[in-house]
């Protein structure tokens, strides 16, 4: 299959390109498109065959459900049932935006879309191209991240092409995404709103909106006995091809430790990468160094994370040592993704 890539500006949300993309969605095909979090791989969420194509293109395990994207709050009741008041409170506060809400599903949504679950994940994205595409398609769009399963999520259209060229008909290229990390997922089918995946919207922000919130214990630790509730969170994910190890501690001790490790690895003939910040550029000897940006720019770190992990693939390194960037806000989402990419290998110094 030939994959077409069309550049599209946010102003062109009602254009012929959108109409063409919407007709692909309506006829059961796949379209990759930009959202404010990461690029999504979209299909008609009400069409079981179309949803099935997403799993095939991504190589995604069939028990890993998809997020359905809508363009107006009024469309929520078409796909979700038993909607509690908290859903409206969260939507008023954070939609359109990087928050996904889990609710009971309606019969309009097939089990192919929900990975066999009776619940559905729903989000209204804050990107004019995404909203324009959903509106023009006239259906909710199921869209997981547009990467091959297990790889870092795409923050540029070129990342989508790297993974899915020849497997999907169309990629809408809207440039670099704004946030760079997938949406926060909050489950409203539990007694207390429960965060199943951390993101830009933090637990504190959700507490402020609805009075209470907690985080699924299954995503905070490496203990395989505690299973995360979001099926997707149990797989190794976001990973570069090389082994990744996080070195956490006071800055000068981290630099010293990484330099020692680099020397050891090189003496065994291995190519080493180091993931640091603008401040530590020049601090490491003999490794391929990549900066994630200035340390104080939390949002920049989130936005650059997946791109930098992909760049290490092109460097053909065997192992990557990463500094840690675990600040309290979106840094917690960065921590979650980096720990998963590293399969929880952390050296504390």
Q: How many Å apart are CA 215 and CA 67, to the nearest integer?
A: 19
Q: How far is the CB of 145 from ligand AMP (least distance, A)?
A: 4
Nearer to ligand AMP, 155 or 265 (CB): 155
Of the residues 67, 136, 139, 334, which one makes contact with ligand AMP according to CB under 6 A: 67
Nearest approach, Cβ of residue 196 and ligand AMP (Å): 5
Residue 140 binds to ligand AMP (criterion: CB under 6 A) = no
Task: Give me the helix-helix angle, 331-341 and 298-315, nearest 10°.
Answer: 20
Total residues at interface with Mg ion (CB under 5 A):
2
Which one of ligand AMP, Mg ion, none is in contact with 219 (Cβ closer than 5 to 8 A by kind)? none
Q: How far apart are the first and last CA of the chain?
A: 50
Q: Coil, helix or strand for 34?
A: coil
* Residue 232 makes contact with ligand AMP by CB under 6 A: yes
SS3 206: helix
CA distances from 192 to 65, 84, 106, 124, 189 (A): 22, 12, 22, 22, 8
Instruction: Map the footprint of Mg ion across residues 117-146, applying CB under 5 A.
Output: 144-145
CA angle 318, 322, 327 (to 5 degrees): 155
Cα separations in angstroms, 252 against 59, 205, 247, 297: 41, 34, 11, 20
Instruction: Quote the least distance from Cβ 193 to ligand AMP, whole Å.
Output: 13
Select from 3, 20, 64, 106 the one that contacts ligand AMP (CB under 6 A): 64
Span near ligand AMP by CB under 6 A; candidates 14-22, 227-235, 253-261, 322-330:
227-235
Which CB, 125 or 276, lies closer to ligand AMP?
125
C-alpha–C-alpha distance, residues 117 and 104, integer Å: 9
Residue where the block lists tokens 């003939």: 269
Query: Per CB under 6 A, which region of 1-9, 119-127, 131-139, 162-170 contacts ligand AMP?
Result: 119-127
Closest residue to ligand AMP: CB criterion: 232
Choice between 65 and 276, CB closer to ligand AMP? 65
For the CB of residue 147, give the shortest distance to ligand AMP in the complex, in Å. 8
Q: 119 touches which of Mg ion, ligand AMP, none (CB within 5 to 8 A by kind)? A: ligand AMP
139-178: contacts with Mg ion (CB under 5 A): 144-145
Identify the helix (H) or strand (E) that includes residue 208.
helix 203-210
Please state, in angstroms and as integers, the Cα–Cα distance from residue 293 to each residue in 10, 128, 167, following that order. 26, 27, 33
- Alpha carbon 180 to chain centroid, angstroms: 7
Q: Which is nearer to ligand AMP, 15 or 64 (CB)?
A: 64
Nearer to ligand AMP, 43 or 274 (CB): 43
Beta-strand ranges (E) seen in 70-222 are 80-81, 99-105, 119-123, 141-142, 170-173, 184-187, 194-197, 214-215
When the beta carbons of 173 and 187 are compared against ligand AMP, the nearer one is 187
Contact assessment for residue 303 and residue 312, using Cβ atoms and an 8 Å cutoff: no
Count, residues near ligand AMP per rule CB under 6 A? 20
- Options 61-69, 160-168, 247-255, 319-327: segment touching ligand AMP (CB under 6 A): 61-69
230 binds, among Mg ion, ligand AMP, none (CB under 5 to 8 A by kind): ligand AMP
Strands (E) located in 36-139: 40-44, 67-69, 80-81, 99-105, 119-123
Q: Going residue by residue from 157 to 196, which x/- string records binding to ligand AMP, judged by CB under 6 A?
A: -------------------------x--x----------x
Q: State yes or no: cis peptide before 96, omega within 30 of 0.
A: yes
Distance CA 137, CA 22 (A): 4
User: Is there binding between residue 148 and ligand AMP (CB under 6 A)?
Assistant: no
The residues binding ligand AMP (CB under 6 A) are: 64-65, 67, 102, 114, 117, 119-121, 144-145, 182, 185, 196-197, 229-233
């Amino acid at each position: 299959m030939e994959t077409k890539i069309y550049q599209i500006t946010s102003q062109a949300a009602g254009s012929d390109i959108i109409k063409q993309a919407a007709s692909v969605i309506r006829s059961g095909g796949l379209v990759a498109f930009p959202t404010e979090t990461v690029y999504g791989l979209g299909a008609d969420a009400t069409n079981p065959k179309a949803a099935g194509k997403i799993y095939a293109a991504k190589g995604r395990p069939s028990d890993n459900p998809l997020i359905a994207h809508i363009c107006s709050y009024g469309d929520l009741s078409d796909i979700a049932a038993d909607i509690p008041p908290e859903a409206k409170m969260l939507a008023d506060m954070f939609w359109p935006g990087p928050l996904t809400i889990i609710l009971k599903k309606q019969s309009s949504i097939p089990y192919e879309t929900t990975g066999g679950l009776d619940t559905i994940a729903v989000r209204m994205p804050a990107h004019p191209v995404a909203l324009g595409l959903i509106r023009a398609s006239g259906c909710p769009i199921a869209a997981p991240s547009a990467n091959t399963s297990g790889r870092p999520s795409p923050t540029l259209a070129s990342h989508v092409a790297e993974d899915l060229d020849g497997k999907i008909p169309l990629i809408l290229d809207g440039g670099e995404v704004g946030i760079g990390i997938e949406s926060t997922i909050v489950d409203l089918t539990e007694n207390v709103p429960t965060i199943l995946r951390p993101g830009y919207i933090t637990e504190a922000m959700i507490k402020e909106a609805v009075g209470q919130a907690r985080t699924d214990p299954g995503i905070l630790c490496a203990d395989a006995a505690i299973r995360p509730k979001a099926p997707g969170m149990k797989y190794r994910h976001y990973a570069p091809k090389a082994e990744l190890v996080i070195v956490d501690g006071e800055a000068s001790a981290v630099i010293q430790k990484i330099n020692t490790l680099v020397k050891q690895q090189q003496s065994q003939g291995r190519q080493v990468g180091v993931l640091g910040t603008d401040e530590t550029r020049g601090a490491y000897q003999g490794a391929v160094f990549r900066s994630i940006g200035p340390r104080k720019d939390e949002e920049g770190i989130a936005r650059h994370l997946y791109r930098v992990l992909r760049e290490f693939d092109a460097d053909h390194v065997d192992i990557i040592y990463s500094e840690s960037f675990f600040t309290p806000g979106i840094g917690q989402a960065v921590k979650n993704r980096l720990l998963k990419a590293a399969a929880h290998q952390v050296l504390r110094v």
